[in-house]
Structure 1
Amino acid sequence: MDGGEFSGATKDTGAVAYRVLARKYRPKSFDDLVGQEPMVRTLRNAFETGRIAQAYMLTGVRGVGKTTTARILARGLNYLVPGKIDKPTIDMPELGVHCAEIMEGRHVDVIEMDAASNNGIDHIREIIEAVRYKPVSARYKVYILDEVHMLSGAAFNGLLKTLEEPPEHVKFIFATTEIRKVPVTVLSRCQRFDLRRIEQDRLIGLLGTITAQEGVTIDAEALAMIARAAEGSARDSLSLLDQAIAHGAGTIVAEDVRGMLGLADRSRVIDLFEALMAGRVSDALSLLKAQYDIGAEPGVVLQDLAAFTHQVTRIKVVPGAGEDAGMAENERRRAGEFAATLPLRILSRTWQMLLKGIEEAQGSSRPLAAADMVLIRIAHASDLPTPDEALRLLKSGALPAPSSPAAPQPPSPDPGARASAPSSSAFGQGGGQGRSMAEPAFRPVEASAQPVPATAKAVPAIRFQRFEDLVAYVGLKRDLPLKLALEREVRVIRFEPGLLEFEPTADAPRTLAADIGRKLTDWTGERFMVSLGRGATTQTLAERQEAEQLKQKSDARSDPLVAAVLARFPGAEIVDVQIRGEESDAAALPAPVAADVIGDLTDDPSEQTDD
C-alpha cells in the first residue's frame, strides 16, 4: 500500500509536501481495500460478465472508504493499458492511462461533486445537460456525488429520469453516510453496497503494516488502543496513528497513546470492575480518582467499564467471543473468570446503570462527582443477591426468615442495641459502603455469657446443609475467585455443617483449603473445618452442570419435534435447554416469606432501571 506513486512536490521550493497517513496509504485498487470482500466479489463477477449497472450507491459509516471506493470503481470502469487491457475490470496490476488523474480527482471525464454544497436543482440541471456529450478521452463519463443525501427534494426528483435511463457512456456513483435520507425512488435505480466497519484485528494488522513501512516502533497494546478508538474506521485509525507518531517521536508505547486519547488503563478498569462487583465502594472510588489524576476523563472511564461489561456478557452467552484478537491475554483471562461467576442478571443491571451514568457524567458540570455517584449506585446494587440465591438460602435455613409485618416488634430500651440489631430483612438495607466495608450481609451470632431473655428473639447461626448452599453464600459475599474455585476445583468427599472434606483438582491452588476455612470462619463467626482427602466419587459443580447440560441436549435431540426441526434446518444446533413448568423455590416457601424477600430485593431505587 505504498502511496508514493501519487505524491508530488511543491513547485516553488521543490520540497516534498508531507501527506498524512490517511492520504499517503489511501487504497488505489480493489486489492488494497480492507474488509470489503463481498462488494469486491460482486463487482468482479459483474465486470467479467458485462453486467455493469448505470448507478451505484455506496453507504457506510465515516472512514470506511466510500469516496476512495468510488474513485477505484471509476478507475476500473475506465481502465486502459495500451496493447494489454482495453475493457472494464477490477484487476489493475499497473497504472493505466487514466489511473493517476482519476485517483487524484482531476480527470476531465470523472466529475466529483460535493452534494452538500451543490444540492440545488440548478446543479442537477447542469449534470442533465452535460450527460448528453460523450467523454473526452475515457471510456465512460463518471459522476461521483459525495454525501448525496444532502440533495434537496427537487434535485432528487430532477435526477430521477436521467438516473433511470442515462446515456450508455454515463455512470453514476453515489456515496452517503445517511442512507435512510435517500428517497427510495433513487435507491431503486442503483446497485447498493453497504461498506462494513473494519474488524479490530484487521485494523491492527493494517496499522502494524503501515508502522513497519514508516519505520516506527509501536507495541501491541498501543496498536489495540488505536484500533479500538477508531471504531471500525480506517481513516480514523490512520489519523490517530499519525498523531501518536508525532506524540511519541517515532516510538509509540501504550502510556503515550493512553495519555493522548485520555483513556484509562485497561487493567485498572478491570480492577475497578472487580471492586464494583465485590461492593468495595472505597476501592472503586480510589481507582477512579487515580485514573482521573493521570488525565483519564470520568466519562471515558465509565465507557470503558461499559465496554468491559459487554465483553464479559458476550463471553458468558457466547464462550467463543473470548478469542477476540483485540483483547489482551490478561483481559481475556479475567473476563472469562467474571463470565463464569457473575449471573447474567447482575451484568445486565450493571450495563443499564452504566448507560445512564455515562450520560450523567458527560452532561454534568462536575464529571468526577457524577461518576462517583454512578459507581456508588452500582456497588450498592452489586451486593443485592439474585432472588433465586436468596430463596435458596432461606429454604436451606442459612438465613433467618423475615419477620411478618403484622407481628409487632418488642421495643428496645437501649438505642445503641437497636442500632446493632439485625434488620428484619438481610437484604433490605442494600449494598452501601457501610455494609460492604464494615459488616457482612449475614451477621454471625456473637458468643455471650449472658443468658438470652425469654422475650428476646435469638438469631440462628448460619448452617449450610448442602455444599451448594455454601457456594451460593460465597457468591453473595461477591468473592468471585473463591466461588469460581469452589465450583471448578473442589470434589466433595464429605460435607456437614461446619465441616468440608474435599479432593482438589490438579489445577487447584495449594492454599485453597486454608483460604476456604479462613474466609468462612471470618464471615460466619464460627470455626469452619476444611480438610483435604482422596478418593472422591463426586464431580465438581461445574462438571456436574456440564454433564447435565449435555444430557438435556441429548434428551432434546431425541424428541421427535426437535429432531424434525434439526432435520429441516441443516447445520442448526441446540445451544441451550430450558425446562419450564417446574416448581420454583418460591413455591416451597410460605407466601408471606417469599413476598417479603422479593419485596426487599426490589425496594432499592437503583433496581428501577429502564429497558
Structure 2
Amino acid sequence: MSYMALARRYRPRSFDEVLGQPSVVRALRNALDGDSLHPALLLSGTRGVGKTTLARILAKALNCETGVGSNPCGECGACREIDEGRFVDLLEIDAASRTKVEDTRAMLDNVQYAPVRGRYKIYLIDEVHMLSGHSFNALLKTLEEPPDHVKFVLATTDPQKLPVTVLSRCLQLHLRALPEATVVSLLDKVLEAEGRESEPDAVALLAEAADGSMRDALSLLDQAVAHAGGGKLEGQAIGEMLGLGGQKALVQSLQAIAAGDGAALRAALQELAEMAVDHGALLDDLASLLQAVAFTQAFGQSAAEGARGQEATALAPKLATADVQVFYDMAVHARRDLAWAPSARIGFEMALLRMWCFRAGAVEGAPEGGATGQSSEPAAAPTTAAPAASAASTTESAPIEAAPEALATPSPADLDDAPSAAARAWHERIEAATLEAYARELARNCVVGFEDDDELVLQLAEDMQHLLRDERLARLREAFGKAVRIDCVRQLGDWTPTRILRAERARALDAAGERLEASPVFRALNARLGAELPREDIRLLH
C-alpha cells in the first residue's frame, strides 16, 4: 500500500504555485532573470512555510535543461529528478543529525568538484542553526568564496542562533507565516481536487489550528480525511478531533458572564468539565474569541470568518468594551500560568470565575448568580467584631492571618469592659515570644484556660478554628517549652490579644485625631474654610 501524504503531493513545483511569500519569490525571480543570484542564500521562517520547497524550485531554475531562468520547464530530466528527490547535484544535508565539524569538512572536500548531472551543484543545509561552532568556522571561507558552480542554500527556523559571521556572508530572505485566508483557499482547492465535501467551519478550524504553516494544514487535513472516512468533513467532528469540542459551551460561558447569569455559567462549566477537552487550547480559543469581539466593537465588523465571526458579532453588544479588554488579559495570563495551576481544568475555570467577579456592573454583596446563590464579588473581610455565624461565613474568603496588619476599629461594645490582668500578661507574653507570623496570629486569638509547669491549655473561639493547624501548634510548643493544647469553645471569657490590639489601635486613632484637630493648621482651615476632619480617614503609619 503506497500513499503519498497531501503535504508532499501538493508541494509547489514552480514559483507561480508558491503562496503567501510574494516578496521572497519576487527577489528570487529578479535575481535569476538578471543573472545575479547570490552564491549563499539564507531562508528563515517558521516550520512549513516553504523553505525547502523554494530551495528545490531554485535548484530546478538553475539546472533546467532549457536554461537558467525563473520559469523552469518542469518536464526535462533535471526538473523531474529534482521533483522526485534523486538529482545527484542537489545535496540536502540535515544539520540536526550532522553537527560535527568532521561532517562539515567531508562536505567541503567535495565542493571543488564540478557537478555530475546539472549546471550547478546546490548544497541545501536544513536547520543550519544546529551546526556546532567549529562547523560554522570551517564553513566560513567556502561560504564567502565558493566555486562558480556551487550555490549554498541555508534554511533555519531560528536565525538568531547563527553567528554574525555567517549572517554577513549570506543574502537573508525571511518567509512569513501564511495568512489564514491563504491556507483556507489552498485547503478548499485540495478538497476539490480530492473530490471531498466539507463545511466552511471545518476548513476554517483546520486553517486556524495550522497557525500559519501550510505543511501543518495539509497534515491536519490528512488527519481530518481519515477521521471522516468517506463522509463529509464537518465542523463539529473536526473540532472534536482538534480537542475543541467545548467551543459551544465556551460561548455559553461568556454569554452567561455578560448576562450575570450564575446558573448558566455553572452549567456551562459543568458541561466543559465532563468533556475531554484540551483546556490550554480552550484558553487560546477564548483569547481569540475575545480579540474578535474587541475588533467587532471597535470597527463594527469581525475580523474572523465563519462561526467565529458570527459568535463575535453576537457577543459584541452584550459585553462592555472595558470588560472585553480585561477578560482578554485574564485569558492570556491564565494560559501563561496554566502550568502552575493544580490542574488544567482548575486553571481554566478560575479564569472564567475571575471574569465573572470583575465584570462591569457586578455589585459587591448583591444576590446575583441565579441558582448558584453566590454573590457577584467575593465577600469582604469583616472589619468589626461579629457574631459567630457571621464570622464563620466570611473567614474562608478573607482569613484573618492574611491581613494581621489591617486590624479594624472595635465597636463600642468592645470597649465597655476592660481586659483582665491575665489577658494583658498573655498579650505581652506573645509579643515577646519568638514566633512566626501564622503561629503568632493563632496565639493572638486565644485566651489562657489553664497552665502549669508541664501543660498550657488555650481556648479558641469556634468561628476562628480555621487558624488551627498542626504545624502552628508545634511552633507554640517550641516557643513555650511545654505541651500546648487548644480547645475550641463557643464563647471566650476574656479578651484575646487581637482584641487588645484593636482597642489600642482605636485609642491611637482617637489620639491622632485629637492632635490633628488641635493643631494650628487645622484650626486655621476650620476657621477660614469650615474644614472638617473625617476620623474614618485617619491612618496610622506605624
Fold in common (TM above 0.5):
yes
- Superposition pairs for residues 515-530 of structure 1, below 5 Å? none
Q: Identity across aligned pairs (percent)?
A: 37
The 2-side partners of 1:153 and 1:249 are apart by: 49
Q: 1:335 to 1:141 in 2, by over 3 A?
A: farther
Instruction: Please state how far the C-alpha of 1:369 moved relative to its aligned partner.
Output: 3.0
CA contact (8 A) 1:59 1:176 kept: yes
- Superposition pairs for residues 536-547 of structure 1, below 5 Å? none
The 2-side partners of 1:431 and 1:39 are apart by: 61
Q: 1:359 to 1:264 in 2, by over 3 A?
A: farther
Corresponding residue number in structure 1 for 2:168:
188
Corresponding residue number in structure 1 for 2:261:
280
1:312-332 Cα deviation digits (max 9, x unpaired): 223444x27724446655235
1:109-128 Cα deviation digits (max 9, x unpaired): 11110001111211221222
Aligned match of 1:117 in 97, 121, 125?
A: 97
1:216 aligns with 2:215: no
Q: 1:235 to 1:284 in 2, by over 3 A?
A: same
CA contact (8 A) 1:380 1:431 kept: no
The 2-side partners of 1:270 and 1:208 are apart by: 27
Aligned match of 1:155 in 110, 132, 135?
A: 135
The 1-side partners of 2:133 and 2:53 are apart by: 27
The 2-side partners of 1:44 and 1:381 are apart by: 55
Corresponding residue number in structure 1 for 2:180:
200
Aligned match of 1:38 in 9, 13, 23?
A: 23
Aligned match of 2:331 in 354, 365, 368?
A: 354
The 1-side partners of 2:308 and 2:533 are apart by: 49
Aligned match of 2:252 in 266, 271, 284?
A: 271
Corresponding residue number in structure 2 for 1:99:
79
The 2-side partners of 1:43 and 1:320 are apart by: 40
CA contact (8 A) 2:184 2:207 kept: yes
How many correspondences in the alignment? 382
CA contact (8 A) 2:290 2:327 kept: yes
Corresponding residue number in structure 1 for 2:478:
none
CA contact (8 A) 2:42 2:170 kept: yes
Q: CA RMSD in A?
A: 2.9
- Superposition pairs for residues 531-570 of structure 1, below 5 Å? none
The 2-side partners of 1:435 and 1:275 are apart by: 13
The 1-side partners of 2:206 and 2:321 are apart by: 32
The 2-side partners of 1:183 and 1:429 are apart by: 61
Name the TM-score, length of structure 2 as normaliser. 0.65
The 1-side partners of 2:146 and 2:220 are apart by: 42
1:289 aligns with 2:270: yes
The 1-side partners of 2:115 and 2:30 are apart by: 26
Secondary structure in structure 2 of the residue aligned to 1:252: coil
Name the TM-score, length of structure 1 as normaliser. 0.58
1:46-89 Cα deviation digits (max 9, x unpaired): 11111111011111111112112211111111112xxxx222x2
Secondary structure in structure 1 of the residue aligned to 2:77: coil
1:49 aligns with 2:34: yes
Corresponding residue number in structure 2 for 1:132:
112
- Unaligned 5+ segments in structure 1 are 1-14, 386-426, 442-589, 597-611
Instruction: Please state how far the C-alpha of 1:107 moved relative to its aligned partner.
Output: 1.4
- Unaligned 5+ segments in structure 2 are 378-530, 538-542
Corresponding residue number in structure 2 for 1:235:
215
The 1-side partners of 2:86 and 2:291 are apart by: 46
Corresponding residue number in structure 2 for 1:249:
229
CA contact (8 A) 1:259 1:295 kept: no
Aligned match of 2:287 in 303, 306, 313?
A: 306
The 2-side partners of 1:440 and 1:268 are apart by: 21
CA contact (8 A) 1:306 1:354 kept: yes
Instruction: Please state how far the C-alpha of 1:25 moved relative to its aligned partner.
Output: 1.2
Instruction: Please state how far the C-alpha of 1:206 moved relative to its aligned partner.
Output: 0.7
Corresponding residue number in structure 2 for 1:379:
356
Greater CA radius of gyration, 1 or 2?
2
The 2-side partners of 1:71 and 1:592 are apart by: 82
Instruction: Please state how far the C-alpha of 1:132 moved relative to its aligned partner.
Output: 0.9
Greater RCO, 1 or 2 (C-alpha within 8 Å, sep 6+): 1
Secondary structure in structure 1 of the residue aligned to 2:41: strand
The 2-side partners of 1:76 and 1:309 are apart by: 46
The 1-side partners of 2:151 and 2:532 are apart by: 74
Corresponding residue number in structure 1 for 2:123:
143
Secondary structure in structure 1 of the residue aligned to 2:302: helix
1:260 aligns with 2:241: yes
Amino acid at match of 1:23: R
